[in-house]
Structure 1
Amino acid sequence: MEKIRLRSCALIISNGAVLLIEFRNDQDSGVHYNLPAGGVEPGETLVEAVIREAREEASVDIEVGPVAFVYEYQPTKNNNLYGETHSVSVTFQCDLKPGSTPKLPDNPDSNQTGVKWISIEELPSIQLYPEICQDIMNYYNGLPYRNYVEEHEIQRERLMGGSP
C-alpha cells in the first residue's frame, strides 16, 4: 500500500505581502521560498498542524481560516522529481494574531535562512515551491485560480512555457 504524506500550510497575506520561509538551495548559492508548512504528526489535525508549523517556522501565532489551496505531488506522474513520497498539502488562509511578529525561530531548520514578507507583485520574480505564485496572486486579487493543483500540471505548463 502506498503511503501518503499529509502536509498543512499557512497562506498569510497582510498589507499586500505574503509571509514566506526562505531556504538556501542545496545545489547552488540561491534561495527558494515555501509557505510556512510541514507534515501532520500522528494524532494531530490539519488545523493543529498548521498552527504548530507557523509557530515553528515563523515564530507566529495564527488564526486559521478556510482552505485556499490543495496541492498534490504524485511521484510516478512526476518522474520522482521531488522524491518518492506521495504528498497532499492543504493550505489554509490564515491571519496573524494581534501582537504576533514573524521572525526566524530560535532553532530553524538547517537550510532555513529567513522569514520574509514578499509583496504580491514580487511573487513572479522569486522561486516558490510549489510553483503557485500566479494562483496566489489571482486568489489575492479575487480572480479565478486553481484551488486544486497537481504538480504534474505545473511541470506540463513549464514545458509549454505557460502559466495557469
Structure 2
Amino acid sequence: MDIAREEVKRLYGNRLRLRVCGLCLIDGKLLMVRHRGIGPTDTFWCPPGGGPQYGETAYEALIREFHEETGLDIEVGELQFVNEFMQTPLHAMELFFDVRIVGGQLRQGFDPEMDAESQIITEVRLMTFDEIKSYPENEVHRLFRLCRSMEDVFHLKGYLKQ
C-alpha cells in the first residue's frame, strides 16, 4: 500500500469524522481538489474542505480548510446539504456550504497534518460539469451521481440518502 493511502487510513480511517465542504462556482465552473490515497484508482475529485478542530466552528473550519487547500479566502454562505461519505476505511458526515471568494490567489494547497512526502492533494482547478462527469463515478464525489447539470448541484438539499 502506498504512503498516501497509509497516511489517509492512519489519520482519518476507522472512525467517524465531521467534514465541512465549500461549493465555489466561478464562471460556470466548480472549484475541485484532486486527492490521492482515496479510492481504488488513487484519484478522487471533490470540492475543497476538511475537518473542524476542537473549539472551531464549522464556518471557521471551512475558511481555514479552503485557504489551506486552494490559497483562496472565502465568505461562507448557506448550508446546502449533508452527505454521509462511506468508503472503507473512511466514514464522514459532510456539511456542504455555498462559498464566495473574497481574496487570495488560487494555488495547489496542502494538508498540514501530513508531511511533504505523504501529501494527498495533487491538483486544484476549476472544472465544468462535463469535465467532472467525464471521470469514472468512483473518481469523483458521489454527489455528482445525483446531478445531471451544474445547476442540480446547487439544488441539492437535506440529507443525501445512500
**What's the TM-score once normalised by structure 2's chain length?**
0.72
Following the alignment from structure 1 to structure 2, what is the Cα–Cα distance between the partners of residues 46 and 36?
Answer: 14
Letter in 2 for 1:100: G
Distance 1:106 1:87 in 2: 20
* Percent sequence identity over aligned pairs: 27
Give the letter for the 1:133 counterpart: F
Amino acid of the structure 1 residue aligned with 2:88: Y
Q: Which runs of no fewer than 5 residues in structure 2 stay unpaired?
A: 1-14
- What number of residue pairs does the alignment pair up? 140
SS in 1 for 2:22: strand
2:159 is matched with 148
* SS of residue in 1 equivalent to 2:24: strand
> 2:38, 2:16 → 1: CA distance?
24
**Between Structure 1 and Structure 2, whose CA radius of gyration is higher?**
1
Q: Is the 8 A contact 1:25 1:31 kept in 2?
A: yes
Judge conservation of contact 1:13–1:19 (CA < 8 Å) in 2: yes
Where has structure 1 moved over 3 Å in runs of 4 or more? 25-30, 106-109, 134-139, 141-147
Alignment of 1:26-65 (within 5 A): 31-65=43-77
The 1:6–1:101 alpha-carbon spacing in structure 2 relative to 1, beyond 3 Å, is same
The change in CA–CA distance for 1:60 and 1:29 in structure 2 (over 3 A counts) is same
Superposed displacement of residue 24, structure 1: 2.8
Q: Secondary structure at the match of 1:61?
A: strand
Residue 128 of structure 2 aligns to which amino acid in structure 1? Answer: S
Quote the Cα distance in structure 2 between the aligned partners of 1:149 and 1:117. Answer: 24
1:120 aligns with 2:97: no
Cα 1:52/1:121, change in 2 over 3 Å: same
Instruction: Quickly say closer, same or farther: Cα 1:26–1:147, change in 2 above 3 A.
Output: closer
Q: How many angstroms does 1:69 deviate by?
A: 1.8
Q: Given the alignment of the two structures, is residue 132 of structure 1 paired with residue 143 of structure 2, yes or no?
A: yes
TM-superposed deviation, 1:94: 0.4
Kept after mapping to 1: 8 A contact 2:70/2:108: yes
Give the alignment's Cα RMSD to 1 decimal: 2.9
Answer yes or no: is the 8 Å Cα contact 1:138–1:145 preserved in 2: no
**TM-score w.r.t. length of structure 1:** 0.71
* Contact kept? 1:7, 1:88, Cα under 8 Å: yes
